[in-house]
Copies of this chain bind each other. A is one copy, B any other.
Amino acid sequence: MSRHNPCIASRRPSIRDLARETGLSTATVSQALNGMGRIPEATRRRVQEAAEQIGYRANVHARSLVTGRNMTFGVQVAGGDSATLLPQSGYFLELLNSASAAANERGYALVLTPPAVDRDSVARLAIDGAVIVDPTGAESLLELGPADGVPIVTAGRLPDAANGPAWVDNDHRAGTTEVLEHFWASGHRKPALLTSTGRQSYLADALAAYRDWCDRHGQEPLAVTAGRASNPNAAAEAALRMLGAENPPDAVFATLDELAVGVLRAARRLGLRVPDDLALAALTDSELMRATEPQITAIDLMPAEIGRASVALLTDLVERKQPSRGHQTVPSRLVLRGSTAAP
């Protein structure tokens, strides 16, 4: 019946409407709109104009049904509780925005994937691939994805990056070394490392680079853990102990923005001048680093670049069916502020 009653209630024009409009077949119309080179330019133009005219847009579900591709990527942010997530929220949000833009440029939609997915949700989400940001290794998608033919890219590395999925990351060893050299150049000879607990790769990287540097400079390493990550008070306490001990460090590199805030607080309490008595820098730049006094030197991890690169890598994996290895290193940038002196 509906076929004999041509759209009184206005439905979206289908490819058949467009075929009728142009006097061509649906197959030709489809080719003209999507195919490459097979249709003469004149016809193609005619079809495109008619499409514009009647406001035709292809139905994505019909297309996906036949092509077998979803044109959708998933993005999963942080494996765990939102408490550990929020201190770095600026980082995540910037990453998310750029990843979304990059995906859309390539014709993919980006869907938010909840941290704990089961096989059912993976199927329902209908994603062609996924980016997992700062994985802990416990994310179910890490196994479920590849098992169901959904390639994964991680932003940040997994503990066993060698035979894990493709990844995008900063060179945190280089960044750490750069900070320590910056301390050195301004006359600070005894830097300490203040870390949070966690299995993230960047912590291991920072620690390794720190130990290397100490070795090369004949320093005894002083690496302190502040306990739970997102706690400036815990950091302040750890810093108080560290700075109040005999032969204290004259510089601190903190592996999280909030830790650096705690150090600053401790320094103030001890009457230490920053940067003269104590130089201070943080691994992750954030608005927090601009809100203190003095502002804190920090490494900008370029989250927008990380997001963009992750999507680019994922697209390659999905479209070119390349072997699912591969990785990319995004350069970070040391942002000098008042907590460290100019050399």
How many copies, total?
A: 2
Collect the chain B residues with CB atoms within 8 Å of residue A287's CB: 86-87, 89, 230, 258, 288
Q: Is the beta-carbon distance between A57 and B124 smaller than 8 angstroms? A: yes
- Residues 30 to 78 of chain A near chain B (Cβ within 8 Å): 55, 57-62, 64-65, 70, 72, 75, 77
Q: Is the beta-carbon distance between A65 and B59 smaller than 8 angstroms? A: yes
Q: Separation in Å of the A56 CB from the closest CB of chain B?
A: 9
Q: Is the beta-carbon distance between B57 and A61 smaller than 8 angstroms? A: no
Stretch at the interface among A91-99, A138-146, A171-179, A334-342: A91-99
Q: Separation in Å of the A31 CB from the closest CB of chain B?
A: 19
Stretch at the interface among A108-116, A183-191, A210-218, A323-331: A108-116
Collect the chain B residues with CB atoms within 8 Å of residue A293's CB: 265, 268
Collect the chain B residues with CB atoms within 8 Å of residue A94's CB: 82, 86, 89
The reply on A232 being an interface residue by CB < 8 A is yes
Ranked nearest first, the 4 interchain pairs of A and B with the lowest CB-CB distance are A57-B123, A100-B112, A61-B64, A61-B61
Contact pattern, A 7-24, Cβ under 8 Å of B = 1, otherwise 0: 000001000000000000
The reply on A90 being an interface residue by CB < 8 A is yes
Q: Is the beta-carbon distance between B288 and A291 smaller than 8 angstroms? A: yes
| Separation of A109 and B73 alpha carbons in the complex (Å) | 12
| Sample (15) of A-B pairs whose CB atoms are under 8 Å apart | A57-B120, A60-B123, A61-B61, A62-B65, A77-B97, A89-B90, A89-B92, A89-B93, A89-B94, A92-B93, A110-B111, A111-B111, A230-B287, A232-B290, A265-B293
Q: Is the beta-carbon distance between B114 and A101 smaller than 8 angstroms? A: yes
Known contacts A288-B291, A291-B288; is-contact A100 B123 (Cβ 8 Å): no
- Residues 266 to 296 of chain A near chain B (Cβ within 8 Å): 268, 287-288, 290-293
| Separation of A109 and B230 alpha carbons in the complex (Å) | 30
Collect the chain B residues with CB atoms within 8 Å of residue A232's CB: 290-291
- Residues 154 to 213 of chain A near chain B (Cβ within 8 Å): none
Contact pattern, A 246-259, Cβ under 8 Å of B = 1, otherwise 0: 00000000000010
| Separation of A293 and B232 alpha carbons in the complex (Å) | 11
| Separation of A126 and B12 alpha carbons in the complex (Å) | 13
The reply on A85 being an interface residue by CB < 8 A is yes
Selected from B59, B110, B121, the residue in CB contact (under 8 A) with A112 is B110
